[in-house]
Every structure is written in C-alpha cells, then in structure tokens.
C-alpha cells in the first residue's frame, strides 16, 4: 500500500510528548514494505528509493496498532498509530476508503 498522507507526531519513540516545533502536520508519500512504513518526501523520492533514515520517517509497524482517531475532530479521515516503542502518530488520509485500507494494511500484515 502506498499514497500521500499527512502525518503529525504526538509522542516520540521513547513515549515522551513530541516537542513544540515538531508537532505540525506534514505531507508525505507513504509506502509500506517489509513491516516498515516509509515516509518519503514525495512520489519521486519513493521511486528513487530515497529514504530519510530517521525513526519518524521509517516506522517499524511490527506490534503497532492503528485505530480510528475519532477523538481528533480537527481533521477528517484520521487514524492514530501506536508503535511498540511507544511512539504515537496521527495520519490523515484522503477519504474513508483510504482510512480503512491503511488501518487494515497496518493491522493485518
């Protein structure tokens, strides 16, 4: 599964609240492969295989869980991703079908 999403960092991999200045929404071209959710700058970056090698742009989804963020009311079609290392992210997808597909892909790989 791949496609454009918006991502917001809420908790860092140590479980601490992501600091101010790093909590904004940012667009990425996401691709899921080998249990890793890669966040590329854009589709071109994905095709070139350019990966920004830091933890928030290559998220290990083994033992992660994606749930609908119905408590987050500022944007539509948002899911929350909890990782095994205590990070938490919000992802906004383009519509309810995309939302469902991303959550199922993450939860059932």
Binding-site ranges for ligand I3P (CB under 6 A): 20-25, 74
Q: How far is the CB of 48 from ligand I3P (least distance, A)?
A: 27
- Least distance (Å) between residue 34 CB and ligand I3P: 30
Output 22 or 47, the one with its CB closest to ligand I3P. Answer: 22
Name the minimum Å distance from CB 59 to ligand I3P.
Answer: 19
Tell me the Ramachandran region of residue 27: left when phi exceeds 0, alpha when psi lies from -120 to 50, beta otherwise. Answer: beta
List all residues 6 or more positions away from 28 whose beta carbon is below 8 Å from its beta carbon: 4, 5, 6, 7, 39, 40, 41, 57
């Amino acid at each position: 599964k791949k496609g454009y999403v918006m991502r917001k960092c809420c908790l860092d991999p140590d479980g601490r609240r992501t600091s101010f200045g790093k909590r904004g929404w940012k667009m990425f071209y996401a691709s899921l492969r080998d249990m890793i959710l890669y966040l590329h700058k854009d589709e071109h970056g994905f095709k070139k295989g350019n990966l920004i090698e830091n933890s928030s742009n290559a998220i290990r989804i083994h033992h992660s869980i994606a749930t609908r963020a119905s408590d987050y009311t500022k944007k539509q079609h948002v899911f929350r991703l909890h990782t095994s290392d205590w990070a938490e992210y919000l992802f906004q997808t383009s519509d309810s079908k995309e939302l469902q597909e991303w959550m199922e892909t993450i939860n059932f790989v």
